[in-house]
Amino acid sequence: MSPTQTLPAPVKAQDTIFALATPPGRSAVAVYRISGPRAAEAVQAVAGKLPAPRTAAFRRLRHPETRETLDEALVLWFPAPASETGEDLAELQTHGSRAVMAELTRILGALPGVRMAAPGEFARRAFYNGKLDLTAVEGLADLIDAETEAQRRQALLQSSGALARLYDGWRGRILEAMALVEAAIDFSDESDTQAATYDSACELLQAQVMPELRAHLDDGRRGEIVRNGFRVVIAGPPNAGKSSLLNALSRRDVAIVSPEAGTTRDVIEVALDLGGVAVVVSDTAGIREATGAVEQEGIRRSLARAAGADLVLWLIDGAAPASASGTPPEELQGLPALAVLNKADLVGEPEAVAEQRGADIAISAATGAGVPDLIDRITERVLDHGLVASETPVITQARHRQHLGAVLLSLEAFLAGGADHLELRAEELRRAANEIGSITGRIGPEDVLDRIFSRFCIGK
């Protein structure tokens, strides 16, 4: 971290907070976390003597007034500032009995200056005390929510600070360029020196920051797709077997299957794990000339969902006449798609019929024939997006992309402005540095912080 980059000032918390950090309900072990200026007093009130720092000690937990034994637990003590929150922090690892948890929660909440933590308050204190930056906080939240291997690896990389180190490096070079511009302003009476200093600032940005920033933005939204899921939309005319295919892919009955046209009116989604990547498959209403207002709305939603998909499976009814199978409407032309001939069990030569109808693959959602091959085709498309583990940090949040886009615009405005009015050029650089600071939390409005930390459970 360069000397120009500062972490948030430490928080002088008045309250000591506690929370159950494990899911509520019956379990083998329950973990309580206590953080703040009275954490030591809280531990001593129920567990007696503090253990040695960062050493687990066996203790009997007792009621602070009656001295009745509540449970037997392991107690860990992390004095400030060498703790996750930067404050005095303790953990009580008790048995996961509902009765024990209810009584311990009541006792801790009754101690002076101790209260239940708000959602994300532990992580928020860690941020304010310089233990985490905002990108690491978001990575930690994503790691908690991760359901696939790709999500886990990406979130772990981000939570370790890789994204912040990349952005802080750019911010440091932008601030260095800004210092050169401000120096050029000071040499306003020496034109040669002023021009050379300004040129040095431009060269620094053009040679280092701009190429890296453009490449980072031009990533095909890989990080966001890994985080949110690769979106596959099943579309096609009514009765082509879209809901049957969704059920076949998910291996359970998630959609109603009926011979009646127009059964599916709204979008139904199922999350799958293909090749370690989250894939969200959507079943949509059959696309045709609608006969009523409700069906019209269903078709509108189908087209809108398909337009935003990473892959469209256009389903062709193999049992219907070629003239009735339909082709993708104009709104879906040009989208990444696979044409899938369904009901292959009802035609004599599926491969020949598929080729005749312009399909890429023939399947039967009813019997399962060809479905594994279709899953392989989808997985290939997923991997073609580069959605595999990478040691290079990528953009994972829409807000990161928005701020980085603003950084690029400010730097382009700086380079296009020329050496005249250097005060305005310096302001462009200041704006760019502030945009990066908003990503990492060096600069950030409270409403952005509220949205980020509210994603966590109470004990995090």
- Mean pLDDT score across all residues of the chain: 84
- Predicted TM-score (pTM) of the model is 0.76
In this structure, the strands spanning 277-283 and 230-235 are parallel
Question: 4 with 175: CB under 8 angstroms?
Answer: yes
In this structure, of 33-42, 122-131, 250-259, the range with the lowest mean pLDDT score is 250-259
From the list 336, 142, 366, 316, the residue with the least C-alpha distance to 232 is 336
Residues 6+ apart with CB under 8 A from 219: 394, 395
Give CA separation, 80 vs 91, 95, 182, 260, 321, in Å: 14, 27, 40, 66, 74
**pLDDT, average across residues 162-170:** 94
Model confidence at 422: pLDDT above 90: no
Q: Which structure tokens are listed for 273? A: 């794990």
Model confidence at 459: pLDDT above 70: no
pLDDT tens-place string over residues 56-92: 999 999 999 999 999 999 999 999 999 999 999 999 9
**pLDDT, average across residues 354-365:** 88
pLDDT tens-place string over residues 224-240: 988 888 999 998 888 88
The predicted pLDDT at position 304 comes to 81
